[in-house]
Amino acid sequence: MAVCVRCGDRAVFQTDEGPLCAAHFSAWYEAGAARTIERYSMVRSGDRVCVGFSGGKDSTVLLTVLSRLNLDAELIAVTVDEGIGGYRNDTIAAARATAARLGVEHRIISFADVCGHTLDELLTTSPAAACSVCGTLRRRALNMAARDMAADVIATGHCLDDEAQSVLMNYLRGDVVRVTGSHNSNSGDLFIRRIKPLCRSTERATVAYGLCNNLLVPLPECPYTKYALRADVRRWLGSQEYATPGTMLHIVDGQEELVRRISKPCGTPKIMGVCERCGEPANHRLCAACRQLDRLAK
């Protein structure tokens, strides 16, 4: 039986420091998130932090860790209700319970508030577009909610696996703007800065933290998961990480280094303005959400 290198109790997780017991692993995980917040100067003193809080495992761990870190910041949890039958009601109930237990203010914003329709209504003829539509409208909903509550940043529960998958997916799509990080913004206060405090923590460690702290409850899976391109990338990347631990961190660190070395982004940087229809931040005449809604209407 492996024992904790700090106290000799039964170990539950192998870290870069060695095997750790549940209590010391939790402290190690929280210290990692604190280092990530400091590394990227994510939170400033007095910030209002809008935490994107689906009620799933990643965002539940995020909200718990942020509330335990004694940050000099105010936390407000926001759940986006996409309107997905047989799925979202259970996760909203779980989100309410967790926010109440942590004593964090909790708000809910729905796709109906954002565009007048649920995700199920939008996808009646094109369910395969689910994750693309959902992601675009969720970003808009969170941005609107954060602006309404005068938040300084939006924190999301993306972990290292999500980040490495996103880097690979940008290459798979040939999305040079994202690969080279050549975004500029002149959308002023419209676009709220985003932070990902768990972005250097693996999904495995995040789940282990949730289990060690009794945070996880069984929840249904989104019925649209089968349409996600990310599922294939996740499977492939998971096998690479298993064969060569550290692969995901190399991908993410390599991407950061690439962006740093490109002193002048390729081509003309994209300037973010505002959507001429809805007034939200946009890279084109219409923002991504309005273009998605137009495509669905056709």
Write out the residues near ligand SF4 by the rule CB under 6 A.
82, 130-131, 134-135, 222, 224-225, 228
With beta carbons less than 8 A apart as the criterion, state whether 157 and 52 touch.
Answer: yes
CB of 123 to ligand SF4, least distance (A): 8
CB of 240 to ligand SF4, least distance (A): 22
What are the C-alpha distances in Å from 114 to residues 80, 144, 177, 189? 10, 8, 27, 19
Residue (of 129, 125, 141, 158) closest to 82 by Cα position: 141
Q: Which is nearer to ligand SF4, 130 or 248 (CB)?
A: 130
Q: Which is nearer to ligand SF4, 159 or 222 (CB)?
A: 222
Q: What are phi and psi of 110, to 5 degrees?
A: -110, 160
Classify residue 186 as left (phi > 0), alpha (psi -120 to 50) or beta: alpha
CB of 207 to ligand SF4, least distance (A): 17
Q: Which is nearer to ligand SF4, 131 or 207 (CB)?
A: 131
CB of 158 to ligand SF4, least distance (A): 12
Q: Which is nearer to ligand SF4, 12 or 130 (CB)?
A: 130
Q: Which is nearer to ligand SF4, 129 or 216 (CB)?
A: 129
With beta carbons less than 8 A apart as the criterion, state whether 156 and 42 touch.
Answer: no
CB of 15 to ligand SF4, least distance (A): 29
By CB neighbour count within 10 A (0-12 exposed, 13-18 middle, 19+ buried), where does 98 fall? buried
